[in-house]
Structures are given as structure tokens and as C-alpha cells.
């Protein structure tokens, strides 16, 4: 009985922190919810009203088109919600007030889950609108792969959140964390992926890259699942200065479902554990 | 007749007792905070060096020192915000055994902290205080009442549901103090609690600290404001270059001084024409008790008249017996010249001088060590 009571007392600060964090970030949540609604409605409804824009043949294709922006939305949401999760306590010195009151592990867990619930809610809103529009245009039932995609999107946004939290644990300021994580996630991973593919082609799959793992969100919608997952495009022509010839450009389309999900889970745990450890060690 | 006077005196004393909360006797058997050889380094800089300090239950300790002396660093180590390089901090809560703070994984909910200028999350005062009370396990059903009570006490009731970003510096400081005591801790540690407060608010804080003292709380205050410290603290720890250079009551610290000062307030001001002659006479009569080696930096003459204050400042030899003799002489020998209405030893200026002198001594020692090349050995 006493043990249960102690455990409950131990969890309570985390729960209070989750609720507090949700209240604290509510303005950001409203903003991103509006953005999510606008993008979903724009891609899923307004574009279909344009006569020259043909409605996709199947519900899965419709979802695929609608989900093209989901990786950007999740990326920006994760960066803006999680960039200040740790470093703001040091940067803005709020840690002086809160660190003596609550164990740092409990604080980071509370803040992490508080922000995560909001980011997941934003993704859910987006999927809900898209799902509703898919049902509106194509009737029921909704393609099961849409729900798989939703599951992967949730895992992806959690992995992004852990990644940004990790950066926040050692960065000096919130702005620096936002800029650096955005650059790495938007440009860094893509450039490295392309270089790696250029050098190793199908011999090395860029499974280290969060951006690549994110392609499973739309990849999982395809039926049958892309096989082979590495595709090559060849083209020929004259280049500048008389240079010309045949060019082959390779690209990894999507990771396998098992590898993608496993790695997303690994990234979630590894980045979060590292972030929590660094946070615990960091002094104000 | 005598009985009547006694009764009146008793009634007066009772009224006074009600006005000023009675401070409970300090329990000298129970150390609640013990700092043992506490050291903190930032690279090559030693911010806190071998600090040893014991704080008893119910005691109010003032930590005084110049900027960068190590006050806030010491407090941060007690709050577990910084890890000491060596030494340890022992804490006793709920009359348990003294425990090494480094070995306690949980937070010490019986302690309340105000560190530095409070930086608060941008929420309303109510949301913030409720959250802080909640995470420190303050009884849920009493939180609202406690918040109301404290906001009322600090005259912030009207601001309860306002975001703290709209608060002035002084109001933020008050919220900082409230958050430190919201969960009614046994030990309260305040770093510069009077920063940013207007004089009226400072008086309020002082009053509140006295109230906390009357509840038997152990209080640790770091401040530059010597007056505030001397008014509320039982003992004062003087810190400079990260070391404690003096730790005692103001009175005992003053004994280490070669000189002490007395303020003597008069009923009427002295005529300018008579002043010089009167001061000469005073200096002659009080000569055996005056400070013979008065530091010219403090004053060039041992008896000085201040027309604005309508009184004398007398620098005496610091002996307790001398004080009585000086008073006798002033009252008896100078009865026809002036009437003494108050005769006090100002705590603040005493503390200021103790502080200045100790810091000066310490600086001189440092310099001599440096010139002697002993620093290499350190």
C-alpha cells in the first residue's frame, strides 16, 4: 500500500508537468492546428475544386498527395515545440526556480510528454481532415494503409521530437536549436543522403537519416509496397560546354516497413535517453 | 501605586508581543544545514573555497559578501543546481539524521529556494504557483487557500490571473519569494530577496521574514543590503573570494573591530557658536573610552556632531563597560548643555565596518600571498 502511494507520489510531478506544459504551449498548438487544417483542406479539398486538377484515381493516391506536406508540418512542429524544452531552462534561467523543486528526469519526462501530446494532436488533426475528405470523395471504408501511415507518422514525429530534444540538451539558446535542427533535418540529411547514394548506390541504404525514414509515411500507402526500394532514373543529353552523355541517378524510395519502424523506435529511445542524461549533467 | 505601574507595564509588553511575533528559541542541538569543506571551481577560478558552516534549526543566517564572492554559487550548490568539486552538504529535514545531499536522489521538498532574479514561465501567477505547489506535494485541497493567503500577504491578489510577463520587477521578485515558500518548507533559502523592491516592499519582506522566524523556520539569506541582513539575521557569514572570513552574530563580529561607534541623539540641536567648545569638552571627558587608533578613513575625530540628525557620533574603544561610562558622562556632566534622548549602537554601520574591514584584511592577505609566490603551492 505504502509502495503504491510512494509510486503515485513519484509519478504525480510528471503528470502535473504534462498538464502545465500543455497549458504553457497552447498558443503554439492553436497556431499549428490552424496551419494543419489549412494545409489539409487546401491539399484535400480546395485543389480538387480547380477544374484542371484531376482527382486521384484511388483513395490511396489521394492520401499520398495529401500527405506530401506532412513531413514538413511534423518537422516544423517538432522543432518549434521541442527546441526550448531543455535549453530554455538554462537560457532563460527558469531552471533556478524549477530545478530545486522537481527531479530533472521527472521534469524532462513531463515536458517531453506534454509537448508530444500536442504535436501528436496536430498530426491527428491533419490525418482526421484528410481521412474525412478521403471518405467524402471515395466513400468508405477508409483504406487501412492510411491508418498504417498515421502510425508511422506518429512514430516519425516522436523520433523528430527526441532528436530536437537531444539538440536542446546541449545547445545554448532556443533560436540556435531551432536553426540548427531545421538545417540538419531539412537540408543536412537530404544532402548527405544524396552524396551517400551517389557513392554507394544500392549498396548502402541511408537508414541513419531521419528524413529518409520519414518517407515511410507515404511509402506505406503504396500497394504493392515498392520493390525494389532502390530505383534508378536514366537520362541523356548535352550538358554545358559540350559535355554530354548518359546519366543515371539512383534514389532510395523508402525503407522497409520492419527496418523503418525499428529504427524510428531506436532513434526515439536513444535520442531521448541521451538528452535526459545530458540534461541531468548540465549545470546552470 | 507600584502595582499599578507594574500592571500597565505588563499590558504594554503584551501589546508589543502581539505586534512583533516572538522568535522561538534556536535549537542548538539540531544542525539542519552543514557545509563541509565545500569547494566549487569554474576552470581555474575557485568560486567557493573550503566553506564550513553550520546552521541550526530556527536560525536565520545572513550570507554577506561583495559581487562574485561566492554567495550565489554556495546557494546553487545547496539547491543542487551546481555540483561541488569537493566537500559535502549535509541536510536534516523532519528531525531525521543529517544526510549527504549528493546521495539524495529526490528533491528536498522541505526546502524552498529563491535564487538570483526569478525568471518565470509566462503563465498567470495562479497557474505558476499552483504548479509549483503541486510538484512539491503540497496538499491539493489547501493549495488555493495558500495561494490566496500569500498573494494577499504580498499585495498581489489583484494580479492573481494576470500573466507574469506584465509584472514589474518588484512584483516578479515577490512572486519569486512566494514560490520559495508556497509549500511551507522548513528551510528557506533566499538569494537577494530585496532586489528590485521599493522601500515599502522591503519593509514588508523584512516583516514577513520575521513572521517566518516566529514559525521556527530556518532561513538562509544572501544579500548586499547590510541593513536588511543585520535587521533579521541571528548570525552573519562574511564571504570573500569564496571563503568565509567571519561567521558570528553582528555584536560578536563587532568585537573584532578596534573601534565601535555610538549614536547619541539629542532633544535640541546645538548652537553653532558653542559647538567647537562643546566637542572639545566632550573629547576631553570621554578621552579614556574613546578610540585611540581611529582609522582616518572612517573619521578623523572620535566625536562628531551631525546637525541633520541632531546628534553625536562617538567612536569608542568597543568595550561594553565603556558604553555605560560614556552614557553616564553624557547625562551627568553635560546635563546643562544638552539632553540625550537616545543612545544606540547602529547595527548596520557596525556591520558595514566589520564587513569593510574584514574584506580589506582578506584582500591584503591575498595580495601578500600573491607577492610571496604562495599561490603556486595552492
Q: Is residue B373 part of a domain?
A: no
What distance lies between CA A216 and its chain's CA centroid?
11
Q: Which residues of A touch B82 (CB under 8 A)?
A: 283-284
Q: Determine contact: A26 vs chain B, CB below 8 A.
A: no
CB contact under 8 A, B79 and A99: yes
**Chain B partners of A97 at a C-beta cutoff of 8 Å?**
113, 115, 118-120, 132, 176, 179
Question: pLDDT tens digits for B169-192?
Answer: 889 999 999 999 999 998 999 998
Q: Does A99 touch chain B (CB under 8 A)?
A: yes
Are residue B83 and residue B156 in the same domain, yes or no?
A: yes
From the list A228, A224, A194, the residue with the least C-alpha distance to A212 is A194
- Give the whole-angstrom CA distance, residue A148 versus residue A155: 11
- Grid cell of A43 as nine digits: 491539399
Same domain flag for B174 and B64: yes
Q: Does residue B358 lie in a domain region?
A: no
Same domain, B135 and B241: yes
Please report residues of A whose CB lies closer than 8 A to that of B79: 96, 99-100
| pTM of the shown model | 0.81
**Taking CA A241 as the corner, what is the angle to CA A240 and CA A243, rounded to the nearest 5 degrees?**
75
How many angstroms separate the Cα of B315 from the Cα of each of B132, B259, B275? 50, 6, 18
How do residues B57-115 score in pLDDT, each as one tens digit?
889 999 988 888 889 999 999 988 899 999 999 988 776 788 888 888 777 778 899 98
Which residues on chain A are in Cβ contact (under 8 Å) with B111? 100
Residue of chain A minimizing CA distance to B124: A24
**Cβ contact, residue pair A283, B81, below 8 Å:** yes
Q: Which residues of B touch A96 (CB under 8 A)?
A: 79, 81, 113, 115-116, 118-119
**Are A99 and B123 in contact (CB < 8 Å)?**
no
Q: Which residues of A touch B76 (CB under 8 A)?
A: 284
Residue B263 dihedral angles phi and psi, to the nearest 5°: -105, 130
Could you tell me which chain B residue has the CA closest to the CA of A14? B135
Query: What value does the CA radius of gyration of chain B take, rounded to a whole number of Å?
Result: 24
The answer to whether residues B48 and B190 belong to one domain is: yes
> Are the Cβ atoms of B107 and A17 closer than 8 angstroms?
no
Spatial CB neighbours of B64, under 8 Å, sequence gap ≥ 6: B71, B222, B223, B224, B226, B229, B236, B237, B238, B239, B351, B355
ipTM above threshold 0.85? yes
B232 and B100 in one domain?
Answer: yes
Phi, psi of A237 (to 5 degrees): 160, 175
Tell me what pLDDT residue B3 has: 44
How many CB atoms neighbour CB A254 within 10 A?
A: 21
Residue B10 has pLDDT above 50, yes or no: no
pLDDT at B15 over 50: no
In this prediction, residue B149 carries a pLDDT of 93
- Measure the CA–CA gap between A84 and A22, rounded to whole angstroms: 14
Nearest chain A alpha carbon to B135: A13
Residue B2 has a pLDDT of 44
What integer best gives the mean pLDDT of chain A?
88
Give domain status of residue B166, yes or no. yes
CB contact under 8 A, A100 and B111: yes
> In angstroms, rounded to a whole number, what is the distance separating the alpha carbons of residues B266 and B344?
12
pLDDT digit string, tens, across residues A151-185: 999 999 999 999 999 999 999 999 999 999 999 99
Residue of B30, B120, B119, B113 lying closest to B75 (CA atoms):
B113
CB atoms within 10 A of CB A136: 11
* For range A25-48, the mean pLDDT: 89
DSSP B21: P
pLDDT at A237 over 60: yes
CB-CB neighbors (< 8 A) of B176 in chain A: 97
Query: For residue A245, what pLDDT is reported?
Result: 65
Largest interatomic CA distance in chain A: 83
* Residue of B249, B239, B194 whose CA lies nearest to B75: B239
Flag if B131 and A20 touch (Cβ within 8 Å): yes
Written as nine digits, the cell of B201 is 516592499
* Alpha-carbon distance values, A119 to A41, A116, B209, B337 (Å): 19, 5, 44, 83
Give the CATH number for residue B225: 3.40.50.300
Q: Which stretches of A139-188 are DSSP H helices?
A: 144-170, 174-182
**How many domains, chain B?**
2
Min Cα distance A106 → chain B (Å) is: 10
pLDDT value of position B26: 66
Question: Using one digit for the tens of pLDDT, what is the confidence trace for B119-137?
Answer: 999 999 999 999 999 999 8
Same-domain pairing of B225 and B288: no
CATH (domain of B321): 3.30.70.100
Grid coordinates representing A187?
537540408
Contact A97 B137 (CB under 8 A): no
Are B265 and B297 in the same domain? Answer: yes
Give the rounded percent of residues in chain A with a pLDDT score beyond 90.
60
Within 137-156 of A, beta carbons closer than 8 Å to B belong to none
User: Is-cis flag, bond preceding A224, omega within 30?
Assistant: yes
A94 touches chain B (CB under 8 A): yes
Q: How far apart are CA A121 and CA B113, in angstroms?
A: 36
For residue B252, being part of any structural domain is answered with no
Closest CA of chain B from A157, distance in Å = 25
The number of distinct structural domains making up chain A is 1
Cα A115 from chain centre = 13
Residue B152's domain comprises 27-247
Average pLDDT along chain B? 82
Answer whether A93 touches B (CB < 8 Å): yes
Where helices occur in A25-143 by DSSP H, the ranges are 26-41, 47-49, 59-66, 70-82, 87-91, 95-98, 104-138
Phi, psi of B350 (to 5 degrees): -60, -50
Instruction: Determine, yes or no, domain membership for B80.
Output: yes
Shortest Cα distance, chain A CAs vs residue B101, angstroms: 12
Over residues A117-134, the mean pLDDT reads 94
CA distance B131 to B121: 11
Binary contact (B131, A16; C-beta < 8 A): yes
Q: Do A103 and B105 touch (CB under 8 A)?
A: yes
For residue range A55-105, what is the model confidence (pLDDT) as tens digits?
Answer: 778 888 888 888 888 888 999 999 999 999 999 999 999 999 999 899 999
Which residue, among A101, A192, A249, has the nearest Cα to B111 in the 3D structure? A101
The position carrying cell 535542427 is A181
Report how far residue A82's alpha carbon sits from residue A161's, in angstroms, rounded to the nearest whole number.
6
Determine contact: A92 vs chain B, CB below 8 A. yes
Tell whether B156 is covered by a domain: yes
Query: With an 8 Å Cβ cutoff, is A22 touching chain B?
Result: no
From residue B41, how far is each of A194, B243, B366 by CA, in Å? Answer: 47, 13, 18
Backbone conformation region of residue B68, classed left if phi is above 0, alpha if psi is from -120 to 50, else beta: left
Q: What is the pLDDT of residue A3?
A: 52
Extract the C-alpha cell encoding B354.
566589520
Q: Is A27 on the interface with B (CB under 8 A)?
A: no
Tell me whether residues A100 and B107 touch, CB distance under 8 A: yes
User: What is the C-alpha separation between B33 and B59, in angstroms, rounded?
Assistant: 10
Q: How far is CA B318 from CA B256, B279, B305, in A?
A: 9, 20, 19
Q: What is the DSSP string of A96-130?
A: HHHTTTS-HHHHHHHHHHHHHHHHHHHHHHHHHHH
| Residue contact B135–A13, C-beta within 8 A | yes
Residue A209 belongs to what domain range? 2-281
Residues 100-129 of A with CB under 8 A from B: 100-103
Q: For residue B135, give how far its alpha carbon lies from the nearest alpha carbon of chain A (Å).
A: 5
Residues B231, B103: one domain? yes
Apex B151 CA angle, B145 and B154, nearest 5: 140
Question: Residue A284: which of B81, B109, B131 has the nearest Cβ?
Answer: B81
Q: Do B116 and A103 touch (CB under 8 A)?
A: no
Give bridge partners of residue B90 from the DSSP assignment: B34, B100
Task: Identify the band that residue B13 occupies on the pLDDT scale cut at 50, 70 and 90.
Answer: very low
pLDDT reported for residue B354: 72
Of B218, B248, B187, the closest CA to residue B59 belongs to: B218
Mark out chain B residues that contact chain A at CB-CB < 8 A. 76, 79-83, 105-109, 111, 113, 115-116, 118-123, 127, 131-132, 134-137, 176, 179
Residue A66 CA neighbour count, 13 Å, CB half: 32
> Phi and psi dihedrals of B45, rounded to 5?
-85, 125
Q: Do B179 and A97 touch (CB under 8 A)?
A: yes
Nearest residue on chain B to A6, alpha-carbon basis: B137
Distance of alpha carbon B145 from alpha carbon B47, whole angstroms = 41
DSSP string, B173-221: HHHHHHHHHTT--SEEEEESTTTT--HHHHHHHHHHHHHHHHTT-EEEE
Residue A185 neighbours by CB under 8 Å, 6+ apart: A75, A79, A160, A163, A210, A211
pLDDT tens track for B226-266:
777 888 888 889 888 888 888 888 777 766 655 578 888 98
Report the distance separating Cα B314 and Cα B264, nearest Å.
Answer: 8
pLDDT surpassing 60 at residue B197: yes
The verdict on a CB contact (< 8 Å) between A99 and B81 is yes
CB of A85 within 8 A of CB of A168? yes
pLDDT digits (tens, 9 = 90+) for B149-165: 999 999 999 999 999 99
Q: Which three cell numbers stand for residue B339?
A: 539632553
Amino acid at each position: 500500500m505504502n509502495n503504491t502511494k510512494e509510486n503515485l507520489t513519484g509519478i504525480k510531478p510528471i503528470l502535473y508537468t504534462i498538464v502545465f506544459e500543455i497549458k504553457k504551449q497552447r498558443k503554439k498548438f492553436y497556431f499549428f492546428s490552424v496551419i494543419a487544417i489549412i494545409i489539409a483542406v487546401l491539399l484535400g479539398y480546395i485543389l480538387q475544386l480547380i477544374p484542371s486538377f484531376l482527382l486521384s484515381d484511388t483513395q490511396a493516391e489521394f492520401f499520398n498527395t495529401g500527405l506530401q506536406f506532412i513531413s514538413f508540418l511534423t518537422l516544423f512542429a517538432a522543432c518549434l515545440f521541442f527546441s526550448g524544452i531543455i535549453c530554455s531552462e538554462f537560457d532563460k534561467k527558469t531552471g533556478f526556480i524549477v530545478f530545486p523543486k522537481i527531479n530533472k528526469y521527472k521534469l524532462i519526462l513531463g515536458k517531453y510528454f506534454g509537448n508530444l501530446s500536442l504535436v501528436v494532436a496536430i498530426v491527428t488533426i491533419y490525418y482526421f481532415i484528410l481521412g474525412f475528405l478521403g471518405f467524402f470523395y471515395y466513400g468508405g471504408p477508409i483504406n487501412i494503409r492510411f491508418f498504417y501511415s498515421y502510425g508511422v507518422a506518429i512514430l516519425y514525429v516522436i523520433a523528430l521530437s527526441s532528436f530536437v530534444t537531444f539538440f536542446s540538451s546541449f545547445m545554448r539558446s532556443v533560436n540556435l536549436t531551432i536553426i540548427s535542427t531545421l538545417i540538419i533535418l531539412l537540408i543536412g540529411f537530404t544532402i548527405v543522403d544524396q552524396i551517400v547514394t551517389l557513392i554507394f548506390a544500392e549498396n548502402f541504404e541511408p537508414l541513419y537519416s531521419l528524413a529518409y525514414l520519414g518517407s515511410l509515411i507515404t511509402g506505406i500507402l503504396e500497394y504493392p509496397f515498392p520493390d525494389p526500394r532502390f530505383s534508378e532514373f536514366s537520362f541523356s543529353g548535352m550538358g554545358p560546354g559540350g559535355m554530354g552523355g548518359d546519366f543515371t541517378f539512383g534514389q532510395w524510395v523508402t525503407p522497409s516497413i520492419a527496418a523503418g519502424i525499428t529504427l524510428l523506435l531506436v532513434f526515439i529511445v536513444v535520442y531521448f535517453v541521451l538528452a535526459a542524461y545530458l540534461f541531468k549533467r548540465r549545470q546552470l | 501605586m507600584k502595582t499599578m505601574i507594574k500592571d500597565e507595564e505588563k499590558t504594554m509588553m503584551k501589546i508589543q508581543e502581539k505586534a512583533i511575533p516572538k522568535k522561538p528559541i534556536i535549537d542548538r542541538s539540531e544542525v539542519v544545514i552543514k557545509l563541509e569543506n565545500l569547494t566549487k571551481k569554474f576552470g581555474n577560478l575557485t568560486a567557493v573555497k573550503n566553506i564550513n558552516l553550520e546552521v541550526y534549526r530556527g536560525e536565520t543566517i545572513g550570507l554577506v559578501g561583495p559581487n562574485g564572492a561566492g554567495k550565489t554559487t554556495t546557494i546553487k550548490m545547496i539547491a543542487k543546481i551546481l555540483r561541488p568539486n569537493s566537500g559535502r552538504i549535509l541536510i536534516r529535514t523532519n528531525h531525521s539524521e543529517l544526510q549527504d545531499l549528493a546521495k539524495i536522489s529526490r528533491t528536498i521538498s522541505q526546502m524552498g529556494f529563491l535564487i538570483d532574479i526569478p525568471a518565470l514561465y509566462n503563465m498567470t501567477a495562479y497557474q505558476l504557483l499552483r504548479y509549483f505547489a503541486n510538484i512539491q506535494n503540497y496538499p491539493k485541497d489547501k493549495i488555493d487557500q495558500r495561494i490566496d493567503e500569500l498573494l494577499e500577504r504580498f499585495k498581489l491578489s489583484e494580479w492573481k490571473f494576470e500573466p507574469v510577463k506584465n509584472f514589474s520587477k518588484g512584483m516578479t521578485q515577490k512572486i519569486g519569494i512566494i514560490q520559495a515558500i508556497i509549500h511551507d518548507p522548513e528551510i528557506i533559502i533566499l538569494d537577494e530577496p530585496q532586489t528590485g523592491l521599493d522601500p515599502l516592499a522591503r519593509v514588508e519582506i523584512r516583516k514577513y521574514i520575521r513572521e517566518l522566524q516566529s514559525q521556527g523556520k530556518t532561513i538562509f539569506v544572501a544579500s548586499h543590503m547590510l541593513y536588511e541582513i543585520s535587521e533579521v539575521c541571528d548570525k552573519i557569514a562574511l564571504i570573500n573570494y569564496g571563503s568565509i572570513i567571519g561567521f558570528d552574530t553582528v555584536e560578536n563580529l563587532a568585537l573584532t573591530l578596534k573601534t565601535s561607534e555610538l549614536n547619541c541623539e539629542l532633544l535640541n540641536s546645538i548652537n553653532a557658536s558653542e559647538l567647537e567648545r562643546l566637542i572639545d569638552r566632550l573629547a576631553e571627558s570621554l578621552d579614556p573610552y574613546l578610540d585611540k587608533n581611529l582609522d582616518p578613513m572612517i573619521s578623523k575625530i572620535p566625536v562628531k556632531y551631525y546637525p541633520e540628525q541632531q546628534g553625536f557620533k562617538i567612536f569608542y574603544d568597543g568595550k561594553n563597560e565603556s558604553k555605560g561610562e560614556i552614557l553616564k558622562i553624557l547625562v551627568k556632566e553635560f546635563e546643562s548643555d544638552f539632553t540625550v534622548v537616545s543612545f544606540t549602537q547602529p547595527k548596520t554601520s557596525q556591520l558595514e565596518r566589520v564587513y569593510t574591514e574584514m574584506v580589506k584584511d582578506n584582500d591584503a592577505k591575498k595580495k601578500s600571498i600573491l607577492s610571496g609566490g604562495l599561490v603556486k603551492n595552492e
